[in-house]
Structure formats: C-alpha cells, structure tokens
Amino acid sequence: MLSLVRMHAFQSGRGPLSPGSRAGLGAALVLLAIISGVELADGRWAHYVALMVAAPFLAAALASWRVVLGVGAAATAIGSAFALAEPRTSLVTAVNVAGIALATGIAAAVAAVRQRQAEQIAELSKLAAVAQQAVLRPLGPQVGTLAVAGRYISSTATAEIGGDLYEAIDTPYGVRMIIGDVRGKGLDAVRLASIVLGSYRHVAYERADLRAVVADLDRAVARNVGDEDFVTAALVEERGGTLTIVNCGHPSPLLLRRGAVIPLEPPAPAPPLGFMPVVRPRVERLEPGDRLLLFTDGLGEARRDGEFFPTADRAWRLLGHGTVGDGLASLETALVEWVHGRLDDDIALVLMEYAGHSGGVTAPVPSWEVGAAEG
C-alpha cells in the first residue's frame, strides 16, 4: 500500500535510519557545510553563525527527533567553535549560539509531534485497508461456469477506502453479481457498502427473482441512510446462458461480443437503492466468448484536459484479450496513463466471460421468461 510505504519513510526506530531520516540528515549536514564554508571564507569574526539555526528545523521536516537532536548538537558545536575562534567573543555571537541550542529543542519537539502523527496516519491507513478487504472479498477466477475478475482502483494513494462495492456468487438461481457505488466516501461509505453486501450475500440465495432482491436491498439501505444518501447498483444474473440485468441508477454494463461493444441500457430508468426503485429486467442471450464489464461511475468520469476516457471505443482492445484478469489490468494501465495518474473518484471493475454450458443440462428458465417460454 503506497500510503504505508510513504509513512514508513517518516518513522524511526533504533536500527538503521529510515529513508526520511537519511534525507533530513543529509540536507541538514549540507546546509551546515555551506554555512561553515562561508564563515571560514569571511574571516575571524563569526557573522553567519545565526544561520545554523535552520539546520535542525530542516532535519525536523523529514527526520526523527533523535536525528534532529544530533543535527542540533552538531550545529551548536560548530557555532561554539566559531565563537571561541573570534579574537573577542561578542554578546551577539554568544546569543546566536544559545539560539541554535534553543532551536534544536523546539525542532526536536516538532519532529516528535510529526512522527506521532505520521504513525497514527499509517495505522489508520492500515485499518482502512483491512476494512476495505473485509468488505470486498477477492473475486474469481471462476464463479460457477463464469470466469470472473474484480479490481478496485483508489483515487488516492493515501486513502484506499471508499463506497464502491462488488460481489459475485454462485447461487441456486445461477451466478449472480452486483456492482454498486455508495454516495460519499470514508468510513460511513464503507459501513453502508458493508450493509448492502451483507444483505446481498443473504438474499441472493433466497430470492428467485432479481426484482425481489432489489426490494430487499432497498429496504436495507433505507433503514441505514439519511434522506440524501443512496446507493446506485446494477445486479446481474447468468443462468443457462441467459443474462438478466436490473439497474438502479447505475452506469450500464458493457457487453463485448465479437469485437463489438454493446451498452446494455435498462428498458426503463430506475432510481438508486434507498429511493424505492421499480426495475424492469433486461434479458440477453449470451454467446460463448462474450464478456461483460461492470463498472462504477469513476470510470465514466475519468478525464484529462476535459476529455473523458473513451471506455466504449477502447473496451474491446483492452478487455478482449487474455484472461479476464489480464483485461482488467490492461484497462487500469490505460486509464491511469490517460489521467496522468490523477483520478477524481474511486473505481470498481468486474469483468466476466461466458464460455458456454456443456450439453445435456437444462438450466431453469428465469421467472420473468416463463410466460414467453410457454407462449
């Protein structure tokens, strides 16, 4: 995790110096060397000793308090040497040397406070990562008859936590997947995402109709959010080669088939979970080799210089090769390159591939197709 690596650079131990401490020590020693050189070239009177007060503060920006004390002691010793070398030690020079010692104590206190804060932030980042992993379990590589891969792309290196969610499970009613996006960020968003996923992991096994699953999830969200909070979501079911999608205010999945990219728009728009959505399923027959990309709106909002990432135009070239995991890795690389490493929102991605069902097994027909089948 990038945030932990970054914070580790600021932490000190009793062993070898951390990269941050080495950088702070090096910068401070260079500064002391420059001031000492100028002082020696100036003559026998100490005119620039006061500038050495900057050395411990420079070290305090990166190094541990122990290193700061060492730098301050060195600066005080050098300043004292220049003061004693004067023909007659002046009051100004003595005050300057005392100021270096006082600045060393202040800088060490600043470094200690900064170090404690860095350690607290690192611990919070670690807890956030644990919370995120508890919510988003790894997907695939095989769920039922489908090859499935999931990927979470954080918008910042210092906070890998947000409200994007996904899951794929093999149920008696076929492989069912969900992807969603909670309004907001932080621990509140993770809490609501965990509620939605916990409810989904239960009702997906209990409800034969995806519309009933949506109704259950909507009630779970409504019980746990404020008036302006909501969760966009798309639910997908693959059963016997039949793909069924219900959409609650979420970006439409993309179907990749024989080089074409087909947005699977819902028959009618529906509001997000929390606003009592009434959904109409979209049903498609899958062909062997079809791939389906589910994503959150961070992908659609990724842009550079006002130009959005051309997801639909590049989806087949990025996602149509190798395994589904390879496809998501290619998409992430292209996306990060497009935005120059600066994303405005977290992104959750799920890619599945349908290989076809073996003959001799007849899967149950989804409930909303019964009437059509009988006709």
pLDDT surpassing 60 at residue 370: no
DSSP state letter for 128: H
Question: What pLDDT does 372 receive?
Answer: 38
Can you tell me the distance from the alpha carbon of 214 to that of 229, in angstroms, rounded to the nearest whole number?
Answer: 17
Question: What pLDDT does 4 receive?
Answer: 36
8 A C-beta contact, residue 139 and residue 323: no
What are 20-40's pLDDT values in tens digits?
Answer: 788 888 888 999 999 999 888
| Torsion sign (Cα): 76, 81, 85, 89 | positive
Question: What pLDDT does 7 receive?
Answer: 40
What average pLDDT score do residues 86-108 get?
A: 89
What average pLDDT score do residues 75-95 get?
A: 87
8 A C-beta contact, residue 291 and residue 351: yes
Mean pLDDT, the chain, rounded, equals: 86
Lowest-confidence region among 162-176, 178-192, 232-246, 281-295: 178-192
8 A C-beta contact, residue 138 and residue 169: no
Question: What pLDDT does 365 receive?
Answer: 47
For residue 348, give both structure tokens.
């959750």
What average pLDDT score do residues 196-225 get?
A: 94
For residue 32, give both structure tokens.
């002391």
End-to-end CA distance of the chain: 56
**Strands 347-354 and 291-295, how do they pair?**
antiparallel
342: number of CA atoms within 13 Å, CB side?
4
pLDDT surpassing 70 at residue 1: no
pLDDT surpassing 90 at residue 229: no
Can you tell me the distance from the alpha carbon of 52 to that of 43, in angstroms, rounded to the nearest whole number?
Answer: 17
If residue 49 lies in a helix (H) or strand (E), which one and from where to where?
none
pLDDT bin (cut points 50, 70, 90) of residue 184 is confident
Question: What pLDDT does 277 receive?
Answer: 94
- Which are the contacts of 367, defined by CB distance < 8 A and separation ≥ 6? 208, 209
The percentage of residues in the chain with a pLDDT greater than 90, rounded to a whole number, is: 57
Angle at which helices 186-206 and 91-135 cross, to 10°: 10
